[in-house]
Structure 1
């Protein structure tokens, strides 16, 4: 009987679909779910999830694919939220130009902070980004246009491209979904480009990348700015979704949350941060009105995942026997 079991097993493995087919099917299912989600779920909840999923994916571009741990990404997320909210409310800009200003502002902040931080490595890099983000936090606390502790309230969503009224929840949802898909497409293209291959080589062995003639500092800075700009895109749409920008968006706790999301889902994976963001946002949403302390529950979930799923949920699946048989690899 033992001799007959091996052909059966091999035939079973042979009949498994390849990774490309599985990814296409899963992608279509996920897209179909997102298209109908606002009719079955609270639209604001789903939009918040999409904003933070893009935030985590942008952060993962720096941590997972370049190997740089930043504790300062809240500056780009909250900074873009402030820039977008101020431009739309005070200057009367249309939402698309307000978001564009947020992205540009976040990229400029990323260029300044990155130029300073990439001079150091490891924990020193992380601490420098944290210090710089705290400086930006106190700037937002004191600056006049941010309205201090009150923040910028009652931000109008405006009219997109002159004819799409974003005050309607359905229109706003599909706009956020479009921005999310665009952001993920950009991240996928960066990761799978020659530039992305160089970032991965820097992550794996920086000295070898330098010996091959690559200007490691320039590639790190470019990755930092790209991550900051995409984070700004998430921050800008978040300001329009909730119609406010406050100091909560630029606190160090916000940087901690996005690190948590990325680690839960799996660093160095394209969809891992999306799953991580979904877990954290769902816990925050459904535990907010309960008697359970949200931070403690989130901390317990994080602790369990770190102990049992060292690579994150998606990373562990990719490393499992089923994931290997299907042909998945951690960077898909």
Structure 2
């Protein structure tokens, strides 16, 4: 059993890597890039929601704020786009420091509402500071400079940006499987006991908040470079809500669930838009309600539990037979 689990993880990781590599061969490359960016964004939100127990409706500030910062760096410095993306992620982390410092002391709906309020403040600044952000027009014509390489084809740019997505996903995976991640889960389950054991709960929450914001900024910056623009939609609160919906749809606290949820939502939205259906929110909202009612642990979480339950049921009849065979006559 233990060996099968250990063997299953590399197989699952290899399958995910292969899927990421072949995705633009089966999906329109810009849509493939959207899936990758939203997957990292959803994983970043799940890092805070599923493993720390903090529901944030303000992560649009880090996704969209990084998009603006990345765009400004790329437009005015002429640096390669990887530098601009890393600069946007750093900006998101710095922005998260004061927001997190003022928010992590709250819990539940109060934390969610405070983060939402801060995100709306960022939206207001982006809308009013037209000389820098472009206001309602946003930043347009963001370049994809990389040492003179031609990355105008979305197919080739997908592979140029994929290492950032994989690095972000690996960072999230490493965080939740480290001693730091174990502390975060203990804070999620019982903050009073974690505090009694000597852990600074607020400090760990703040660090998790900043790390989640940095990963969100990494995804938002790549999204802006990939599409060549940064708009107010990126910092609007519905962007946060969509990321949370992806996490819940895929499965809270699984990491893989965020990736699955992002793929389902982005692909569904693209299919509906291509078909000429305007009210995509009605369909996605209906599917979200059905998943919440029928699959309490999300699509990925429910599938994982069903597979584990079937594997356990197959082992049960064999265990008593083995015990009887080993019992001396």
Answer yes or no: same fold by TM over 0.5.
yes
Is 1:50–1:176's contact at 8 Å kept on the other side of the alignment? no
Equivalent residue in structure 2 for 1:146, among 108, 112, 133: 133
Q: Does 172-181 or 23-32 show the bigger shift?
A: 23-32
CA shift digits 1:118-144 (9 cap, x unpaired): 121111111100001001100000112
**Which position in structure 1 is the counterpart of 2:82?**
96
Match status 1:209 vs 2:156: no
Q: Is there any run of 5+ residues in structure 2 with no aligned partner, and where?
A: 313-329
Deviation at 1:271, TM superposition (A): 0.4
**Which position in structure 2 is the counterpart of 1:6?**
none
**Which position in structure 1 is the counterpart of 2:43?**
57
CA shift digits 1:235-274 (9 cap, x unpaired): 0100011010000000000011001000000010020100
**Which position in structure 2 is the counterpart of 1:252?**
237
Equivalent residue in structure 2 for 1:282, among 264, 267, 274: 267
Counterpart CA distance in 2 for 1:316 and 1:136 is 36
Deviation at 1:277, TM superposition (A): 0.5
Structure with the bigger percentage of helix: 2
Counterpart CA distance in 1 for 2:156 and 2:275 is 31
Deviation at 1:76, TM superposition (A): 0.1
Q: Is there any run of 5+ residues in structure 1 with no aligned partner, and where?
A: 1-13, 328-332
Is 1:19–1:326's contact at 8 Å kept on the other side of the alignment? no
Number of residue pairs aligned between Structure 1 and Structure 2: 310
| Residue aligned with 1:131, SS | helix
How high is the TM-score relative to the length of structure 1?
A: 0.89
4+ residue runs of structure 1 moved beyond 4 angstroms?
324-327
**Which position in structure 2 is the counterpart of 1:300?**
286
Match status 1:34 vs 2:27: no
Deviation at 1:325, TM superposition (A): 5.5
Counterpart CA distance in 2 for 1:121 and 1:263 is 19
RMSD across aligned positions (CA): 1.7
Counterpart CA distance in 2 for 1:199 and 1:242 is 35
Counterpart CA distance in 1 for 2:27 and 2:262 is 17
Counterpart CA distance in 1 for 2:13 and 2:179 is 24
Match status 1:136 vs 2:119: no
**Which position in structure 2 is the counterpart of 1:312?**
298
Deviation at 1:210, TM superposition (A): 0.4
Is 1:158–1:167's contact at 8 Å kept on the other side of the alignment? no
Deviation at 1:324, TM superposition (A): 4.2
Deviation at 1:29, TM superposition (A): 2.7
Q: Does 136-145 or 311-320 show the bigger shift?
A: 311-320
Equivalent residue in structure 2 for 1:183, among 157, 168, 174: 168
Deviation at 1:177, TM superposition (A): 1.6
CA shift digits 1:172-228 (9 cap, x unpaired): 111222111111110111101100000000000000000001000000000000000
**Which position in structure 1 is the counterpart of 2:325?**
none
Q: Does 291-300 or 263-272 show the bigger shift?
A: 291-300
